Amino acid sequence: MKNRPLSDDALALVARRFAVLSEPMRLRLLQALAGGEKPVNALVELTGGTQANVSRHLQTLTEAHLLKRRKEGLQVFYAVADPSIFQLCELVCGSLEKRLAQQAEAFEPKSGR
Amino acid sequence: MKNRPLSDDALALVARRFAVLSEPMRLRLLQALAGGEKPVNALVELTGGTQANVSRHLQTLTEAHLLKRRKEGLQVFYAVADPSIFQLCELVCGSLEKRLAQQAEAFEPKSGR
DNA sequence: TAACTATATGCGCATATACTCATTCACTAG
DNA sequence: CTAGTGAATGAGTATATGCGCATATAGTTA
């Protein structure tokens, strides 16, 4: 009863989610937030990006509902709002590892013919 | 033993995979191929795209190792090479549905306070 | 009030990429 | 060989977006 062809609108939403996850810096930020809520300055340090750039990417992630924002005095704390992104990354990593392992096999005469 | 911070290279690969999935037309093609191998002309019809554009997107998907190509006479058949993409899409769809349902809730006075 | 700090944002540049049109390539049939 | 068909590709254009720089905003402290 599932997996019927998605509507154009739905397709656009899915595509947008993937687009948000398609920048290394944003993945780095998500990774940095895997351990829990952190303020912007900590994220700037952890990722090595500029403050302006980090701030923009955090905005993108927040607008996509992947992060949530909490202000506390001067600082702004960000945290992962949608844990499913970690499952996504794991799936992709698994798929990539599998492929790379297969490609590596082609160069190792181990049990090859 | 998993989920250590990914290297920059790994991060770039993951980001690239997401980028490949971030175009509605490519998602449409994957959806069209969910039922099995199809020739290019069928995909052009199913997606409503131009032949040139469909061909380019098929190339992108193939280079990303998500599709495989098989030539037979004049026609070229494409098929999904990495089924994990469907799990990815399901995860994203689930996450989006959940969010949209929550947002809809805010407008329905059903069991709200 | 002014000074200081943490974030956010406006602007411009550079690059990436999706799209169309025309052409070319690969293959088959006559 | 030539003609015809399905698919790929080169060129050009338009749009999107990542980045850095400078500045603006919000909040704190004096």
Residue B60 maps to which CATH number? 1.10.10.10
Whether residue A15 lies inside any domain: the answer is yes
Same structural domain, A74 and A21: yes
Whether residue A58 is found in the same domain as residue A43: yes
Task: Give chain B's domain count.
Answer: 1
Kindly state whether residues A37 and A17 are assigned to the same domain. yes
Looking at the complex, report in whole angstroms how far the Cα of residue B42 sits from the nearest Cα belonging to chain A. 16
> Containing domain of residue A104, as a range?
83-113
Q: In this structure, are A77 and A88 located in the same domain?
A: no
Residues contacting nucleic strand C by the 7 Å CB criterion are A 39-41, 44, 51-52, 55-56, 58-59, 69, 74-76; B 19, 22-25, 49-53, 56-57, 60, 71, 73-74
Structure tokens at B71: 């030539």
Burial bucket for residue B93 (CB in 10 Å: 0-12, 13-18, 19+) = middle
B25 within some domain: yes
Q: Is A1 a member of any domain?
A: no
Asked if the C-beta of A10 comes within 8 angstroms of chain B's C-beta atoms, the answer is yes
Shared domain check, A87 and A65 = no
10-residue mean pLDDT profile of chain B (113 residues): values are 75 97 98 97 97 98 98 97 97 94 81 48
The verdict on residue A70 lying in a domain is yes
Look up residue B43 and give its two tokens: 């995909």
Query: Do A96 and A59 share a structural domain?
Result: no
Closest residue by Cα to residue A25 from B18, B89, B94: B18
- Report the helix count and the strand count for chain B, using DSSP H and E: 5, 3
Average pLDDT taken over every residue of chain A: 92
Please say if the pLDDT value at position A2 is more than 60. no
B71 belongs to a structural domain: yes
Q: What is the DSSP letter of B69?
A: E
A67 lies in the same domain as A110: no
A66 and A87 together in one domain:
no
C-alpha torsion sign, points A6, B34, A87, A28: negative
Strand D closer than 7 A to residue A25 Cβ: yes
B27 part of a folded domain: yes
CA nearest to B34 within chain A: A3
Between the alpha carbon of residue A78 and those of residues A26, A90, B95, the distances in Å are 13, 22, 19
**pLDDT digits 0-9 by tens, B61-70:** 999 999 999 9
Asked if A39 and A59 sit in the same domain, the reply is yes
Same domain, A19 and A64: yes
What's the CA gap between B59 and B67, in Å, rounded? 9
A113: pLDDT strictly greater than 70? no
- Tell me whether 0.90 is exceeded by the ipTM: yes
Please indicate, yes or no, whether residues A103 and A53 belong to a single structural domain of this protein.
no
* 3-state SS, residue B110: coil
Let me know if residue B87 belongs to a domain: no
**In angstroms, what is the C-alpha Rg of chain A?**
18
CB of B37 within 8 A of CB of B77?
Answer: yes
CB contacts, 8 Å: A31 with chain B: 5-6, 11
Assess contact for A7 and A14: CB atoms under 8 A: no
In a domain? residue A2:
no
Longest Cα pair distance anywhere in chain A, in angstroms? 66
Tokens of B78: 């494409």
Specify the pLDDT at position B112.
Answer: 45
Residues A42 and A89 in one domain: no
Largest CA distance in chain B: 66
